[in-house]
Amino acid sequence: MAVALSLESMSTADKLTAIEQLWDDLSSHPANVPSPAWHGEVLESRAASGEFADLNEVKERLRNKSR
């Protein structure tokens, strides 16, 4: 089904709302969203090298970076 949106006439807030609605729908059915092969390759590489970081540590780094 093709959906035509008049993006030029939409406000930024309307566009963000549309994105949020799409994301909510897609994320409610993750099995229907295929993951590209390179995602798995990146995860394997990071797991092998120990590049994973704790989510709270990453959040703190990002907060400090923006200051």
Mean pLDDT of 11-22: 95
Q: Which amino acid is at 36?
A: P
Sign of CA dihedral 46, 42, 65, 20: negative
Predicted pLDDT of residue 52 = 79
Quick: pLDDT tens for 22-64: 999 999 998 999 999 999 999 899 889 887 788 999 999 999 9
Predicted pLDDT of residue 1 = 81
20 sits in which H/E element = helix 12-27
Instruction: Output the CA angle 21-38-19, nearest 5 degrees.
Output: 10
Which band of pLDDT confidence, cut at 50, 70 and 90, is reported for residue 17? very high
Three-class DSSP category at 66: coil
